[in-house]
Amino acid sequence: MRFPAEPFRIKVVEPLRYVSREERARLLAGAGLNIFQVPADSIYIDLLTDSGTSAMSDSQWAGLMVGDESYAGSRNFYNLERAVREITGYHRMIPTHQGRMAENLLFSTLVRPGQIVPNNSHFDTTRANVEAQGAEALDLVIDEGLDPTFDHPFKGNLDVAKLERLFETHGREKIPLVMITVTNNSGGGQPVSIANARAVREVCDRYGVPLFFDACRFAENCYFIQEREPGYASKSVREIARELFACAVGCTMSGKKDGLVNIGGFLAFNDDSLAERVTNLLLRIEGFPTYGGLAGRDLEGMARGLNEVLSEDYLAFRINQVRNLGAMLDQAGVPIVKPVGGHAVYIDARRFLPHIPQSQFPGQCLVVVLYRDYGIRAVEVGSLMFGHRDPQTGQDVFPKLDLVRLAIPRRVYTSEQMRYVAQSVIEIHRERDAMRGLRLEYEAPVLRHFTARLRELEPATVQT
């Protein structure tokens, strides 16, 4: 049996502070019920994100000591370049301080106002970076990907027929590139199959448009391919990664996910003239091309992390830790997105709290109670994160799904802590009828979820 218990032991521990319910309630009220504004040392289990929260290995920590902090030509740059080349096959690697800078560089170079960038689903920063160019960020995930109850092995797939129609309607001039996010974060951390990536590439080739991956969670995606896609069971995850990356011409990467580091990212592809254009911009806004906004030691940590993340013992543990949390919730009747994705369990807040309308942020209601009563931090991926007021009609626009994400940091929490999380959510689910909706008191014009302030509605105003 390929048993997915922790394939590591604990060498260093980080004590967690116990905070009373009263103190948590006070902190949350002071934060405008916005979990991003709560100090992290007041949180028991932090499932806000799997990004930048990984525990590094002894080898990665040792790698920091061989950081070469030369301004130009650091040896760690070459180590990272080699790691990226071996894994992806892309020979140009441009380091950035994190994923969103890779997005900014790529879209600033390729995208013009009025154009459309299709993706299976854009995540928040990707969408914001496309829109910052005056372009439209269009989500084309398959319909099954939008149904939280539909069991499909590759719910992250991009709808090829919709993509064809988009090209037929607008022509290639309007579409500067196509992106696929692996795994598809907004849709529940769902994987994309190689067959789908190939079919998308075929359409892109026909129209002469480049296909890029948003590759943050590529290793988790490749593990699912090995597990689920016909013909891949006997291939190594490393081989599968190489095959997957060959379907695109390049990628943006946040090393904070499957790079197993706390900071870092890169842009990688084979096109030398694109590299020249991106580098000119990089020099102005990020740094010299051999460090790109990072210290030499950070480059080394990421080079080692990218190789470690392809360990199949690690991936079996990782994917199954997340899956087991989902199974505990599912067995207790908590509505979750199925099948469970790679980095997180997503609770379907609209089914969890059917008495709270989308205009009262059901997902955020659950986030508030999870922290106040149990010290757990989750994140809303729904009306608060993606809802907005249409400037033309003045109407509120809500996303199709209202989810609460329990993102699991890599190699950080024990299975016992995961059980505590499951029990907490199950207890809230039993008491859900007493929960009340929220209203917005302040919102910023972009990425409002990071700084929004909310207030709990009085019982009298709750719609039932």
Q: Which spans of this chain sit near ligand P70 (rule: CB under 6 A)?
A: 48-49, 51, 98-100, 123, 125-126, 181, 185, 214, 216, 254, 256, 265, 379, 407
Our CB check for ligand P70 shows the closer of 32 and 357 to be 32
Cβ 386 to ligand P70, closest distance in Å?
12
Q: Is the peptide bond preceding residue 183 cis, with omega within 30 degrees of 0?
A: yes
Q: Which is nearer to ligand P70, 214 or 229 (CB)?
A: 214
Nearer to ligand P70, 34 or 226 (CB): 34
CB-nearer residue toward ligand P70: 192 or 247:
192
What is the closest distance, in whole angstroms, from the C-beta atom of residue 93 to ligand P70 in the complex? Answer: 16
Strand-by-strand arrangement of the 379-381 sheet: 344-348, 403-407, 379-381
Q: Among residues 216 and 404, whose Cβ is nearest to ligand P70?
A: 216
To ligand P70, the closest distance from the beta carbon of 1 in angstroms equals 32
Nearer to ligand P70, 178 or 216 (CB): 216
Amino acid at residue number 54: S
d(CA 253, CA 265): 5
Residues 6+ apart with CB under 8 A from 204: 178, 210, 211
Strands 92-96, 265-269: parallel, antiparallel or unpaired by DSSP?
antiparallel
CB 431 to ligand P70: min, Å: 26
Token readout for 309 is 């993340």
The token duo for 302 is: 């990421």
- Residue whose C-alpha is closest to residue 101's, from 253, 210, 249, 250: 253
**How far is it, in rounded angstroms, from Cα 54 to Cα 408?**
9
How many whole angstroms separate alpha carbon 46 and alpha carbon 371?
9
We find the least distance from the C-beta atom of residue 197 to ligand P70, in angstroms, to be 15
Nearer to ligand P70, 159 or 214 (CB): 214
Rounded to a whole number of angstroms, the minimum distance from the CB of residue 22 to ligand P70 is 26
Residue spans of alpha helices (H) in 332-378:
349-352, 362-374
Residue number of the CB closest to ligand P70 reads 99
Q: Shortest distance, CB of residue 265 to ligand P70, whole angstroms?
A: 5
Q: What are the tokens at 320? A: 């199954």
Distances (CA, A) of 294 to 50, 98, 218, 260: 20, 9, 22, 15
Residues 6+ apart with CB under 8 A from 244: 182, 194, 197, 213, 218, 221, 222, 225
Nearest residue (CB) to ligand P70, 179 versus 432: 179
Residue 127: CB minimum distance to ligand P70, A: 10
